[in-house]
Each structure stands twice: as structure tokens, then as C-alpha cells.
Amino acid sequence: MAAVKGSKQHQMVVVPYRPLYKAMIFLAFLLALAAFSWLTYQFGNNQGLELKVEVVREKDLIIKQLAESRARVSEMRQQIADLTVGGEIDNRANEEVRHTIENLQNLLAEQDEEISFYKGVMLPNVANKGLRIERLDVSSNVPGRVKYSLLLTQVVDKHDYVQGGVQISLFGQDDGLEKTFQISELDQDKTEAIKFRFRYFQNINGELQLPEGFVPREVMIVAQSSGSNAQRLEKKFDWPLNGG
């Protein structure tokens, strides 16, 4: 039979029809994908569990110290009662015991506060969740030099990392005139913007030098987080050092 003039002839290849082989290849791909997803989940879960175990261990240690302090307070009170009844205590010893009890009670109050803090972060039950400016502590042992510690927390059901920046401003008077200083002007280690990144909480510590003649009145904290759930928080604190 003569070929049609001008037409192009293509070679044909006959391959075996193996539907079972194709199904096995597809099944192997699905198994590999499932194994990779499971390993990824296990890795992330283990990382989260390690962090939670560390926080719970620290909380358990505080609870243990709290129980020991309470037992010691109870013992000291019993000793005072016994000595008072027996007439074996003088004024000086009584004063020393009273100071010891006051110190222990202050320690109990601090530990109760720490436990409440951990419970609030780990097991939040408040309506106002998200990034929080928790507290600002300042202290001064040298005139004009002030140490500060700012505590930021995140109260959420699922603790992912939160990050952003903090601005700290001091308001007060200098020679009777209102004046404002940024933290970067007073803390030589904070020449750049203060950044934060944490899951549960973060302390921002530093030391600042107050200008001569400046009398602080209050501190303004502005925290700005980034991301899809960005927040902007503002909180004022009265200056607690009676002018520094």
C-alpha cells in the first residue's frame, strides 16, 4: 500500500498496561508524606513540652519554698508562745524574733505573688488577653543612678512568640519647667530601640542616670507588637522614688 504523499509517519511504541504499579507508586508517595508530617508534628510538640516542663518545674520549686517558709513561720510563732508563757524571753530577743517573722511574711507575700503570676501566664482565665505591661520596678542605691526592670507578659491560650518594641519616657520637672526624657537619653546601653520577643514573659532591665536637677513624676510605657495580631499598649506609672 502506498503511503499518502506529504504525510509524516510516527513510530509507535507499545508499553505494558500496569495499573497496579502506578497505584503502588502513588501509595508510597502518600506514606512518605504522612511520615514527614508526623515527624514534623512530633518535633514541634516535643519543643513545646520541654518549655512547659521547665516553667512548671520552676513553679513547683517556688511552691515548695513557700510551704517551707510557712512551716518556719508556724514554728517561730510557737516558740514565741512557749517562751512568753515560760517567761524566758527578753525584749531584745522578742524584737529579733519579730523581725524574723516579718521577713518571712514578706517572703511569703512575694512567693504568693510569683505563684499567682505563673498561674496567670500558664493558665489564663481573664477576659483581657494578649500582650500586657505587667509591672515596673525601680531602685536606687546611688543618688541619681536608678536601676529599673520592666516586666512584659503574654496571656493567651496558645503561647506563640510575640515580638515588637518598647518606648519608655520619663516626665517631670527641671527647675520648675516641664521636661520629658526618652530612655535612650538616660541609659547609655539603650541607644537603639528596645526590642522584645518571648512566649510567656520577658524582663527588660537597665540602669539610667538622672540629669542633675530633674525631678521625675511619672513614667510612660508604650509597647507595640507586630504581626497579624498587632497590639499597641500604653501604661503610666507614678515615680516611686520620691524624686529619685
- Extents of the domains making up the chain: 47-122, 130-238
Residue 7: pLDDT over 80: no
CATH number, domain 130-238: 2.60.40.2420
Tens of pLDDT, residue by residue over 167-192, are 999 999 988 899 999 998 999 888 77
Window from 20-29, 81-90, 211-220 with minimum mean pLDDT: 81-90
- Among 126, 122, 119, 135, residue whose Cα is nearest residue 200: 122
Are 118 and 55 in contact, with CB atoms under 8 Å apart?
yes
Are 122 and 96 in contact, with CB atoms under 8 Å apart?
no
Q: Cell for 129?
A: 488577653
Are 185 and 174 in contact, with CB atoms under 8 Å apart?
no
8-state DSSP, 12: -
Are 163 and 196 in contact, with CB atoms under 8 Å apart?
yes
CA distances in angstroms from 126 to 138, 198, 237, listed in the order given:
27, 20, 22
Q: Which amino acid is at 210?
A: L
Residue 146: pLDDT over 50: yes
pLDDT at 236: 94
Is the pTM higher than 0.85? Answer: no
